[in-house]
Chain A
Amino acid sequence: MSRETLAYHWGKHHRTYVENLNKQVVGTDLEGLSLEDIIIVTYNKGDILPAFNNAAQAWNHDFFWESMKPGGGGKPSGDLLDLIERDFGSFERFIEEFKAAAATQFGSGWAWLAYKANRLDVENAVNPWPSEKDKELVIVKSPNAVNPLVWDYFPLLTIDVWEHAYYLDFQNRRPDYISVFMEKLVSWETVNTRLEKAKARAAEREMEEERRRKEEEEGKPTNEEEDDDDLEMYVDNDNDDSEAE
């Protein structure tokens, strides 16, 4: 990746996202929120709000720079390699799939390796058969500024496939850029660190949810004498027709 590319990509594109985001955030409800929170709030479940593009792109680029290092490439090891082999069959298959995702993202966007600790986005849903297999590595691609934070995944690695990321060095030859990225730039140490953090946070969340569920269950016996169990459980859901009647 040439010096010229970095000068424009980091010095102009990334800088502009940050500067414009600051302008958009000042004096609004978003001021004071963390960048990740701003991204989730302005993603607005797909109905995106104006600050989303700048916020997400600011985050994406930080994440991208940190995904690389001079003299990078090679192969990961330890837990990360084990998980890759478990979820993709082999390191080579993973590389193939990652490159394919990056090459087939139409238009502008990103390709990601992410850790998916499956959690339903419904408040009182409980996984009836939780297992380690619910947590897996996935490859995903996203358009424009979208990133896996909005899907509640833990991003581990990304490659920017907006044309500005490779046009000066590779022109239209995106596949060549992707290959060079994988062979010479990826910082597997960083990916590893991110994986450890992701696993820890996923475990924390599971414990949180367990704790909350136990609290709810322990609360139940004293309420059994009152009206309906159903009404107690679905307390948030005003629209629910009570079937108990």
Chain B
Amino acid sequence: MALRSSVTRRTLTLGLNSTRLLPLSRSLQTFSLPDLPYDYGALEPAISGEIMQLHHQKHHQTYITNYNKALEQLHEAIQKGDSSTVVKLQSAIKFNGGGHVNHSIFWKNLAPIREGGGEPPKASLGWAIDTHFGSLESLIQKMNTEGAALQGSGWVWLGVNKELKKLVIETTPNQDPLVTKGPHLVPLLGIDVWEHAYYLQYKNVRPDYLKNIWKVINWKYASEVYEKECA
């Protein structure tokens, strides 16, 4: 779409013989760090305040900053028709954009205990979990096994295939969003297993982090998304 309008603009420019006074074909949206719906320390002792603050203010912010930068460069390259730059930027966009997408979901996946964190899912999602995995415990065990076995950096997801209306557990490497594992997959819950997500508190013992994080998982959000996709 951007390409079509920029071609139109270029034709106009040539006709009017003006010098770059025309606005960009579409003003580029820049992204900004979403606020956390809770205090940094509100998820303790499952996740320390120190980690939450670094994770949010440094890591997520850096993904956003670099994502915006890459998008700007992409915008320029598209306007200039510079295909090799367009292609070159893809990995930076996937990495930083993915980081932004994934972390934005992650903050909503967590909630302080007094706001429902850890409360098991009910209604349609609860039934779907029992049907598909046998029980909530069994789902948790499977996700923890996958999360612990993931080599290097990545995420473990509970998602729903919106075409088949089926629940899935998937892992993605680095900052690849869940959709890279299947175009119909919608994330309900993602657990960040990059070392930065747990190292200061749990050091090398990722399985302990995975065991404890369920105490602050926000099933309400996951249910909302599930109901929307599977209504």
Contact = CB atoms under 8 A, between A and B. Distances in A.
A164 B199 contact: yes
Interface in B181-212: 194-196, 199-200, 203-204
B173 interface: yes
B151 A144 contact: yes
Contact of A163 (B151, B153, B173, B175): B153
Contacts of A53: 151
Range of interface residues on chain A? 10 to 19
B59 A172 contact: yes
A143 B153 CA distance: 10
A168 B50 CA distance: 12
Given A108-B152, A109-B152, A172-B58, A13 B199 contact: no
B62 interface: yes
Interface string A78-111: 0000000000000000000000000000111100
A3 interface: no
Contact of A106 (B91, B203, B204): B91
A164 B174 contact: no
Contacts of A106: 91, 95, 174-175
A72 B61 CA distance: 34
A172 B54 CA distance: 8
Nearest to B50: A171
Given A106-B95, A172-B54, A167 B199 contact: yes
Contacts of B152: 107-109, 143-145, 162
A16 B196 CA distance: 19
A167 B204 contact: no
A167 B196 contact: yes
A48 B223 CA distance: 38
B200 A107 contact: no
Interface string A5-16: 000100011001
Given A106-B95, A106-B174, A172-B62, A162 B200 contact: no
B194 A13 contact: no
A175 to B, nearest CB: 11
Interface string B112-154: 0000000000000000000000000000000000000001111
Interface string A152-187: 000000000011100110011000000000000000
A25 to B, nearest CB: 18
A53 B152 CA distance: 10
A8 B203 contact: yes
Nearest to B61: A172
B54 A107 contact: no
Interface in A5-37: 8, 12-13, 16
A145 B153 contact: no
Interface string B95-107: 1000000000000
Interface string B43-82: 0000000000010001100100000000000000000000
A164 B204 CA distance: 8
Nearest to B98: A106
A163 B195 contact: yes
Interface string B155-184: 000000000000000000111000000000
A71 B173 CA distance: 37
A57 to B, nearest CB: 9
- Which 7 pairs from chain A and chain B are nearest by CB? A163-B195, A108-B152, A144-B152, A107-B153, A107-B174, A172-B58, A12-B204
Interface of B: 54, 58-59, 62, 91, 95, 151-154, 173-175, 194-196, 199-200, 203-204
Interface of A: 8, 12-13, 16, 53, 106-109, 143-145, 162-164, 167-168, 171-172
